[in-house]
Amino acid sequence: MKVLVVGSGGREHALVWKLRQSPRVKKIFCAPGNAGIAHQASCVPIGAEDIDGLLHFARREKIDLTIVGPEAPLTGGIVDAFNRAGLNIFGPAKRAAGIEGSKAWAKELMAKYNIPTADYVIFDRPERAKDYVLSRGAPVVVKADGLAAGKGVKVCSTREEALLAISEIMEKKVFGRAGERVVIEEFLTGEEVSILAFTDGQAVLPMLAAQDHKQVYDHDQGPNTGGMGAYAPAPVCTPRIYEEALHKILLPAVRGLANEGCPYRGVLYAGLMVTEQGPKVLEFNARFGDPEAQPLLMLFQTDLVEICEAVLTGTLAGQSIRWADGAAVCVVLASGGYPGPYAKGRVIRGLDQVSDDIVIFHAGTALVDGQVVTAGGRVLGVTAVAKNIPEAIARAYEGVRNISFEGMHYRRDIGQKALKYLPPGE
C-alpha cells in the first residue's frame, strides 16, 4: 500500500512514524514534509494547500490512501476533490470541516443540538462588538471566526484587553480574513482537556484524553500558541467526564452534522473545559491535534491503517483501539520570538545525542547544506513514554537537555497539572 501524508509539522511526523509500523504500508510520501520526516518517508515539494498539485501527484503515483494533517486543506476542500477523483482520503469534507473553519458556525451548531458550551455572541462589525464589551464587562474570550493557526483566541481579563483584541482582529486584520467576524464568549473556569475521536459519520471511537498547553510560558502565562506541549492520558478527565464528553458532546456533534447534510468522517477533536457543571466545548477541530497527536500516537498500538479504512468504509462500529500502558509526554521546542516573529535557519545541535527510546518529532525544520536548521515557530516535539506521568515527564526533559539552537525556548512545566490527580507514590 502507498500512503500520502499531507503536511509538514510534528503531527505529520507522528503520523508517518506510526504508519511505518503497519505491515500493510510499503511506501510513504509526505507533502511537503520536513527534515525529520525525510528520514522515514519520501518528501515531495508540494504545499499542503496545493490541492490540485496533491491530486495530480496522488493520481500519478497511484496512492492508495491519503491522510490530511492540517486544517487549511480540509477547509479548502481537499477531501471533496479527492472523492470526486475516486481516491481514498482520510478527513472530513469541506462543509463538515467548517466545524473548525468557522467558530461562529460551530457555536450555532452546538446551540441547535444542545451541546454544552460557553454562552456567546457573534459580531461582524467591530463597533458593535466593542459596545457589547463595554456593556457586559470582563472577563470574556474574543475569538477570530476563521482559521488562525491556534493563535486567534484572546482571553481578556479586562475591558481594555477585550477592546484591544477586537481592534487587532477586526480592524488591524492581524489574522486576515479570519477576523471578519468575532465570537465573544463567556469566560469558563476549570481545567482544559482534549478528547479526539475517530468517526465514520455514525459510530464514534474516542481516543485517550490528552492535555495541551496553549500559552507560551510556564503556568499558562502569555499569548496562545499552536501548543507548547501535551501529555496523555490526562487524569483530570475521569471516567465520568469521559462518558459525558462522549454522550453529550461527541455523539451529538456527529449526529448533528449528519442531520445538517454534512456527515463527518475522520478525526473530530473536542477541546473541552472541565467545569463544575461538567465538560463544555471550547472548540472543535477537524483533525488530529498538534501536539496531542504525538503522545497519543506513541501510545497507540492498533494498526492506524485499519482504523482509517474503517472510517472510510463506514465500518467503525465494533472497532477498538489497543493502548500501551503508562503515559506519554511531548515537550515542544520553539524558535525565539514565537508565537510572534522569529528567525529561521538556526542550526540545531544534539539531535544525535538523544536516547533512542525518546522520539524527536520534527515540526519546523529543514535540511540546509547537510545541517538540520530551524524553519518554523514550533521546531521539535521531544516525546517520551514511561510507566507513569512523572517518569514520562522526566524522560522527555532528559531529551530536551541534549538539544540546542539559538533562541530556543520551551515550557518547563509540561504535564505538571496531572500530578495533583495521581495517587501518592506514583
Distance of CA 31 to the CA centre of its chain: 18
> What number of helices (H) and strands (E) belong to the chain?
13, 21
Query: What pLDDT score was predicted for residue 426?
Result: 64
Query: What pLDDT score was predicted for residue 300?
Result: 98
Question: 331 phi and psi, to 5 degrees?
Answer: -110, 125
- Average pLDDT for consecutive 10-residue bins of the chain (426 residues)? 98 98 98 98 98 98 98 97 98 98 97 98 97 96 91 93 97 94 96 98 98 96 94 97 98 98 98 97 97 98 98 96 98 97 97 95 97 98 98 98 98 97 76
Cα separation, 117 vs 187, in Å, equals 11
What radius of gyration, in Å, describes the C-alpha atoms of the chain? Answer: 21
Distance of CA 76 to the CA centre of its chain: 17
Whether omega for the bond prior to residue 70 falls within 30 degrees of 0, making it cis, is no
Do residues 381 and 403 make contact, with C-beta atoms less than 8 angstroms apart? no
Do residues 49 and 76 make contact, with C-beta atoms less than 8 angstroms apart? yes
Query: What pLDDT score was predicted for residue 20?
Result: 98
CA distances from 102 to 58, 182, 342, 380, 383 (A): 29, 10, 28, 29, 31
Q: Which of 111, 118, 117, 110 is nearest to 254 (CA)?
A: 110
Distance of CA 3 to the CA centre of its chain: 21
Query: What pLDDT score was predicted for residue 425?
Result: 63
N residues, the chain: 426
Query: What pLDDT score was predicted for residue 424?
Result: 74
Those residues whose C-beta lies under 8 Å from the C-beta of residue 311, and which sit 6 or more positions away, are 90, 198, 199, 200, 265, 266
The strand pair at 229-232 and 204-212 is best described as antiparallel
Query: What pLDDT score was predicted for residue 422?
Result: 86
Query: What pLDDT score was predicted for residue 292?
Result: 98
DSSP 3-state assignment of 7?
strand
Query: pTM for the full model?
Result: 0.95
Those residues whose C-beta lies under 8 Å from the C-beta of residue 240, and which sit 6 or more positions away, are none
Domains in the chain: ranges and CATH? 2-93 (3.40.50.20), 125-180 (3.30.1490.20), 191-313 (3.30.470.20), 327-421 (3.90.600.10)
Query: What pLDDT score was predicted for residue 123?
Result: 97
Question: 105 phi and psi, to 5 degrees?
Answer: -60, -40
What string of DSSP letters covers 264-306?
--EEEEEEEEEETTEEEEEEEESS--TTTHHHHHHHB-S-HHH
DSSP 3-state assignment of 395?
helix
Cα separation, 193 vs 159, in Å, equals 27
Q: Is the Cα torsion angle 72, 77, 81, 83 positive or negative in sign?
A: positive
Cα separation, 273 vs 193, in Å, equals 6
